[in-house]
Amino acid sequence: MTFLGDVLVLARKDLLLELRSRDTVPAMLLFVVSTLVVFHFALPSDASATAQTGLLWVALLFTALLGLVRAFVAEREERILDGLVLAPCDRSAIWLGKVIGVMAFLVAAEVVALPAYALFFRPVGWELVAAVALADVGLAAVGTLLAAMAAAGRARELLLPLLFLPLVIPIVVGGVGASATDDPGRYLAFLGLYDAVFAILSWASFEYVVTE
């Protein structure tokens, strides 16, 4: 299956690049922990479980943004995207390869963020982990597509948050709902729905974002 082969080649390339330059993941790790500390000072002492959970999700959102802003930097600066787009492979493979890379970075950040959250605020249950896993798919899928769009314009660091935030509001609802209510199943199912709809849309439309 050459599509999957291309995806793996491209994903491997992104992970290799990050391993060499080590600039995105450490920044995301530090950012998410710093944000959690800031939230401690921002929350009143009698903050509810929902409020604390909510702020974790805000922290995760902005950490994801941090990683996504850098997603297509190399490809745009060196015009490497042109080289990739000219290759006979499916352009969506570029998208999926990048999504895998972004998800890897997110998971790396969450491996630190969730224990830190458990340490600073409250224990982390399986529902939260499941919600985070599902949310990562949606964040990466949509974020990668939007990052490619923003990379084509001016002021890309400003544009990406504006494009990203309205689209990921449902993820926050699903995530907070799954971890702070008695019926996580419904919210997890909703996250799954979001992932399915927007992953398919992103996969199908990436071609049009990177070509004319």
Interface contacts to other proteins, rule CB under 8 A: 2, 5-6, 9-10, 13, 16-17, 20-21, 50, 74, 78-80, 82-89, 145, 149-150, 152-156, 159, 162-163, 165-167, 169-170, 173-174, 176-177, 180-181, 183, 186-187, 190, 193-194, 197-198, 201, 205, 208-209, 211-212
> What residue type is 123 in one-letter code?
P
Nearer to other proteins, 44 or 166 (CB): 166
Helix, strand, coil distribution of the chain in percent, nearest 5:
85, 0, 15
Nearer to other proteins, 67 or 116 (CB): 67
Specify whether the CB–CB gap between 83 and 77 falls below 8 A.
Answer: no
Extract the tokens encoding 52. 């604390």
Question: Which residues neighbour 57 within 8 Å (Cβ) at sequence distance 6 or greater?
Answer: 135, 171, 172, 175, 176
SS3 labels along 25-43: HHHHHHHHHHHHHHHHHHC
Q: Report phi then psi at 9, rounded to 5.
A: -60, -45
Distance CA 56, CA 58 (A): 5
To other proteins, the closest distance from the beta carbon of 134 in angstroms equals 14
To other proteins, the closest distance from the beta carbon of 172 in angstroms equals 8
To other proteins, the closest distance from the beta carbon of 25 in angstroms equals 14
To other proteins, the closest distance from the beta carbon of 86 in angstroms equals 6
To other proteins, the closest distance from the beta carbon of 37 in angstroms equals 26
Give the closest residue to 137 by CA, choosing from 176, 90, 203, 191.
Answer: 191
Nearer to other proteins, 41 or 208 (CB): 208
Nearer to other proteins, 27 or 112 (CB): 27
Nearer to other proteins, 54 or 103 (CB): 54
